[in-house]
Structure 1
Amino acid sequence: MEDLNNNNGKPQQAMGEETRCGRRVAAVSCPALSAARLNLPGVMDAEGRVDESRLRMHIFKNSGVSPCERGLVWRFLFGMYPCSSTASERSLLQEQLLVRYQVMKRKWQQFLPSAVRIHLNGTDVELLSAVRYFDQRETQVQQQVQDQSEEVRDRLAFLELQAQILFERVTFDQEELQEAIRIIDKDVPRTNRDLSYYQNEGLGNLLVLRDILITYAAFHPEVSYAQGMNDLCSRFLEVLDSEVDTFWSFSCYMEKFSRDFRADGLHRKIELEAALLKELDPQLYAHLVKDTMESFTFCHRWLLLGFQREFEHSDALRLFEILSCDHLELISQQVDRARYRERLAQKYCTEDNLESELQAFNTDFTFELFICAAILLENREFLLRCRDGVQLIHFTSSLQGRLDLNSTLKKAEHHFYNYCKSCAWDYMSGYCRANRSKQEDFFYQLCSLFVLK
């Protein structure tokens, strides 16, 4: 039996996908995507395997992917589809993920039957319509199941038996799950309904979002649900347009970033942003930090949701995938390892110099922190005039939907490059005086890692 603790019930094989256009109510799953191809040069081979490093490089250098490619790209980018999988393998995995999600959702629904339907007070007419559209969708899904061939039904029945065994020992804490559902039912109606995805019959997607969030909270009690997850998950649902694929992609994302939704994660983000700003602009840092870090808390929502509200919606989606491709984070680690190898080689450094500790790159300074810093530095003069938290809140509110992504990216990359170049120059100046040609060669190698778009 597979280890549920290691992969949260996700199969280790692979599967495939395609993009969807014009759908207003999320599909349960999208088997056709399994065989779809990426029209990105050199990224996918003939059997459907993806070169992950080239995919991430393409995303970064092209400032994202086209909307038609986005659904397929995200399934690889966020780990739902293993990049090493072939199209035929992804077709099999798609069925496994579909059945496992259905079993998981049914398990909590049977445990808390009163929570299957959202409780409405009748004042939100749009939500009443959402329930109607959602019910119509459920009826269509049931009809599709009945129309499946006997061969498909038999195969899915076998996969369902496997899933039931896999999740048999999972138990729920009734009080904690009910509390999570209570918060979800408050947050889901607050999801941005101005998006076209939630217009007209798309209102039913609000209830799809609710089911995904409850299923996640039920099977990840160590994380459960925290405010803001609805907006984050909504982004996946809009792009993937599939309840099942959204659940698994969102779950993969949360494996890496769930800490950001806890108090310690909040403090860590704030401390890192403050430390970076101190490196880039000590005066602005000193003005904002004052006696505590509280003045930096306004940055946390930016970082938590990937600047979802600060840029126009399509640009916010683009930025989210740029940040998620981790291209510059990988580069910064390469540079740090390069410096470390040079230090260990002891070829160009004196014994006295070796006794000193070389300041390392802070690889916790992820690119999103430089995006945040670029916004702060762009508004430096206004921030220096801010005297209290009320003015800071007014400042952040004034930015919503107004920032230019291309300009912000360019400035963030400039700050990132200068930070890394400064660290590299410190190394060369202090440790490589003995051999100028080797110094220049080493500097060239470092610079070659930071070719900006």
Structure 2
Amino acid sequence: MYPGTWPSLALQLFLYWLQAFREWLEVFIQLANQKILRILGLAPCARLLSLWLPWLSSYLRSTITMNLKPKPPGKGSRDPQKGHPKTEVLKTTGPLKKSPPHCPESLPLPPDSLESLFDPVGRLDIPRLRRMVYQKGPEAGERKLVWKFLFGVYPPNSTAKERQVLDTKLEAHYHGMKWVWRGRYPSAVRLKVLADEEFSMAIDKYEVLQTQIRENASPLEKLAENSLQCHIFNDQLFTKAQKHIDADVPRTDRHRSYFQEEGLVKLLSVREILITYAAFHQDLGYCQGMNDFVSRFLETLDSETDAFWCFVGFMRWAGMNFTAEGIKRKIHVSEELLRYVDPELSSHIERVSKEKLLFCLRWLLLCFQRDLQHQDALRVLEIRGLEGGKGNSPDWQHSKTKDEVNGCCAPRKDLTFDVLLCVAILVQNRDQLLSFHHAYEFLLFSQRLQGKLKLNTLQEEEKELSHPELSSLGPGVMLIPGQ
């Protein structure tokens, strides 16, 4: 054997083995792309793999990324998005937002438009919808349809034709409810305002529109009105609710362009929705803050009827927050979570203020609707819709259970998204909060943040909170006080 032959032969055998391993690896990747993706992103051995064999980790990621890219349709191929009912499916007009490259869970995924989530008869793939809403949120034009699923107006398995029939019935029923309380309480029909000429003109215009709707009522609407005539009202509760509604509506988002377009006429729709709800739900009635949610629903859906029924669906699971017991429970859960995440900050707040986290009341009661900028407030509301709807998908399980979060006694169902945001704000501003020595300073702190918080969700590069315990409880969320 010549000198140098053995090392050369060993090198050649190693190269043959490496080539065979690479071919086997390509076959394995084709059969298990998604599982390898999860292993690389989530398994503890991924770090060791990247340290020992960095070329292998890089090769796997590049190969998976190439394989996950959608292939261009060939001749004779059929577009899977065609053939859906046009009346119920909306097309995505804007480009899809890319996920941050550094996040293992956000490697490129096949793009999903809202239209692609429907089958040929218009049934929606609910788990995929929930995933889309959580990851990037629906486009502005898609919310009119998506929210009616999120807030329980549409049954999950309904077809396009079934939803058309349901829309007609719900509109008739809503008009019937309005006409019943209007007939029972004629003095409550018109909002009474003093020295507000703009609002007075809007009231006159709105009543003209209502008269036209009443004159052109369909037989179904008249039938709904007749069937509700026997409804029993509590006159005292109705009068009380109407008084508070009339005080809150004139100052509800009056500055927004949506309500300015038709001379404040649409603000009268907010009043109509609130009075109708309070009249037929007198066990809860009207509570201050409901007007903020109705304003969001009306501006997003641009339909008084749709906004009413989405608000009704929202209140089925959020109504408890407007009771003394409900909001007390929410504050208690926030205190327990803060005590687990940041014991020092929690102890300081308890020592300085006997009321503890009562200064966070507005955040928790209104789901940050007054504290976040408009688009961010909508994102929080629709994510809460994912939590509040029945039969939540496993795609949205950001909270830990009692057993998983050692030391935090709050059950998983109470660790809602708004609670996590509340604690996130406190943790991120801990240095400032630790410098407070008087209870009123905490209240001033929350008031200064009103309308100035920015929610950095999946639309931009995710930034996790500096506290590892809190970031482990939920998705990467960053709250940045506005300048």
Query: Hey, what does 1:265 align to over in structure 2?
Result: 326
Query: Hey, what does 1:236 align to over in structure 2?
Result: 297
Amino acid at match of 1:299: C
Q: How far does the alpha carbon of each residue in 1:335-367 deviate from its partner, in whole angstroms, 9 at most, with x for none?
A: 75998xxxxxxxxxxxxxxxxx99896442112
User: Is the counterpart of residue 135 in structure 1 residue 193 in structure 2?
Assistant: no
Change (3 A) 1:371 1:113: same
Structure 1 residue aligned with 2:266, among 184, 205, 208?
205
Q: How far does the alpha carbon of each residue in 1:58-99 deviate from its partner, in whole angstroms, 9 at most, with x for none?
A: 11111x221111111111111111121111111111111111
Change (3 A) 1:257 1:116: same
CA contact (8 A) 2:274 2:286 kept: yes
Query: Hey, what does 2:317 align to over in structure 1?
Result: 256
Structure 1 residue aligned with 2:350, among 267, 289, 293?
289
Query: Hey, what does 2:276 align to over in structure 1?
Result: 215
Query: Hey, what does 2:27 align to over in structure 1?
Result: none
Change (3 A) 1:284 1:100: same
TM-score, reference length from structure 2: 0.68
Matched ranges for 1:111-126 at <5 A: 111-121=184-194, 123-126=195-198
Deviation at residue 401 of structure 1 after TM alignment: 2.6
User: Is the counterpart of residue 53 in structure 1 residue 114 in structure 2?
Assistant: no
User: Is the counterpart of residue 306 in structure 1 residue 378 in structure 2?
Assistant: no
CA contact (8 A) 2:464 2:476 kept: no
CA contact (8 A) 2:258 2:299 kept: yes
Amino acid at match of 1:51: D
Query: Hey, what does 2:182 align to over in structure 1?
Result: 109
What SS does the corresponding residue of 1:84 show, helix, strand or coil?
A: coil
The CA distance in 2 between the partners of 1:33 and 1:308, in whole Å, is 33
The CA distance in 1 between the partners of 2:285 and 2:439, in whole Å, is 31
Structure 1 residue aligned with 2:415, among 359, 365, 372?
365
Change (3 A) 1:319 1:295: same
Change (3 A) 1:178 1:407: same
With 255-264 and 411-420 compared, the bigger mean Cα shift is at 411-420
CA contact (8 A) 2:241 2:275 kept: yes
CA contact (8 A) 1:306 1:319 kept: yes
TM-score, reference length from structure 1: 0.72
Amino acid at match of 1:164: N
Deviation at residue 141 of structure 1 after TM alignment: 3.6
Change (3 A) 1:55 1:393: same
Q: How far does the alpha carbon of each residue in 1:280-330 deviate from its partner, in whole angstroms, 9 at most, with x for none?
A: 001111111238762311212112212112222122112221232227987
The CA distance in 2 between the partners of 1:203 and 1:111, in whole Å, is 26
Structure 1 residue aligned with 2:219, among 131, 142, 157?
157
CA contact (8 A) 2:130 2:386 kept: yes
What SS does the corresponding residue of 1:97 show, helix, strand or coil?
A: helix
What SS does the corresponding residue of 2:451 show, helix, strand or coil?
A: coil
User: Is the counterpart of residue 93 in structure 1 residue 166 in structure 2?
Assistant: yes
Query: Hey, what does 1:35 align to over in structure 2?
Result: 88
The CA distance in 1 between the partners of 2:184 and 2:380, in whole Å, is 39
CA contact (8 A) 1:38 1:44 kept: no
Query: Hey, what does 1:418 align to over in structure 2?
Result: 472
Query: Hey, what does 2:145 align to over in structure 1?
Result: 72
Deviation at residue 44 of structure 1 after TM alignment: 1.9
Deviation at residue 192 of structure 1 after TM alignment: 1.5
Q: Which has the higher contact order (CA 8 A, sep 6+)?
A: 1
Change (3 A) 1:162 1:195: closer
Deviation at residue 33 of structure 1 after TM alignment: 9.4
The CA distance in 1 between the partners of 2:345 and 2:402, in whole Å, is 31
Deviation at residue 160 of structure 1 after TM alignment: 3.7
The CA distance in 2 between the partners of 1:78 and 1:261, in whole Å, is 18
What SS does the corresponding residue of 2:456 show, helix, strand or coil?
A: helix
**Structure 1 unaligned residues grouped into runs of 5+:** 1-31, 146-152, 340-356, 421-449
The CA distance in 2 between the partners of 1:173 and 1:180, in whole Å, is 11
Deviation at residue 397 of structure 1 after TM alignment: 2.0
CA contact (8 A) 1:329 1:363 kept: no
With 308-317 and 370-379 compared, the bigger mean Cα shift is at 308-317
Q: Across the two proteins, how many residue pairs are aligned to each other?
A: 363
**Structure 2 unaligned residues grouped into runs of 5+:** 1-84, 93-112, 479-483
The CA distance in 2 between the partners of 1:51 and 1:451, in whole Å, is 25
The CA distance in 1 between the partners of 2:201 and 2:142, in whole Å, is 31
Amino acid at match of 1:265: G
Change (3 A) 1:164 1:310: same
CA contact (8 A) 2:402 2:411 kept: no
Deviation at residue 255 of structure 1 after TM alignment: 0.7
Amino acid at match of 1:254: M
Give the structure with the larger helix fraction. 1
What SS does the corresponding residue of 2:117 show, helix, strand or coil?
A: coil
Q: How far does the alpha carbon of each residue in 1:182-210 deviate from its partner, in whole angstroms, 9 at most, with x for none?
A: 00000111202111111141500111111
Query: Hey, what does 1:433 align to over in structure 2?
Result: none
Change (3 A) 1:265 1:72: same
Structure 2 residue aligned with 1:325, among 364, 368, 386?
386
> Sequence identity of aligned pairs in percent?
38
Amino acid at match of 1:45: D
User: Is the counterpart of residue 382 in structure 1 residue 432 in structure 2?
Assistant: yes
Change (3 A) 1:171 1:38: farther
What SS does the corresponding residue of 1:76 show, helix, strand or coil?
A: helix
The CA distance in 1 between the partners of 2:117 and 2:193, in whole Å, is 47
Deviation at residue 221 of structure 1 after TM alignment: 0.7
Amino acid at match of 2:439: G
Rg larger for: 2
Q: How far does the alpha carbon of each residue in 1:416-452 deviate from its partner, in whole angstroms, 9 at most, with x for none?
A: 55248xxxxxxxxxxxxxxxxxxxxxxxxxxxxx899
What SS does the corresponding residue of 1:404 show, helix, strand or coil?
A: strand
Change (3 A) 1:417 1:363: farther
